[in-house]
Amino acid sequence: MNVVGSRPDGWWRDRRAAMRRLVEALERFADESGDEVAVVFDGRPFELEKGGRVEVAFAPGGRNAADDAIAEWVAGDPAPGSLTVVTSDAELADRVHTAGAEVVPAGSFRRRID
């Protein structure tokens, strides 16, 4: 949600639509870059139309559930140095950087995919 929230375009009025738009932008990014892309959202899962290149996960369970899932994902990866986490959350950035991942600020990444 850091990437969604990095542009104040009224996304908060329809969070699901904002999430769908982000997945669409990530699909284009994955197609153009060839990078493997995953996104983790907080909240209950819902149906998202995907192009197949972006792995979408939901982390229901409360505040920072997605952050915890991302940090666990990085910590459990056999090559965390090959991962880049996009976030503007300082605590999450510290956690994944300590585990070996690169961190890119959400606003910078948003400008790149727009």
Report the pLDDT averaged over residues 8-36: 93
Handedness of CA 44, 39, 79, 34 (dihedral sign): positive
What pTM does this model have? 0.90
State percent of the chain over pLDDT 70: 99
Provide the residue type at 106 as one letter. Answer: A
Q: What is the pLDDT of residues 72-92, one digit of tens each?
A: 999 999 999 999 999 999 999
Beta strand segments in 33-107, E: 37-42, 54-59, 84-86, 102-104
Q: Which residues contact 23 (CB under 8 A, 6 or more apart)?
A: 39, 48, 49, 50, 54, 56
Structure tokens, 110: 């948003």
Report the 3 state secondary structure along 26-44: HHHHHHHHCCCEEEEEECC
Q: How far apart are CA 62 and CA 105, in angstroms?
A: 23
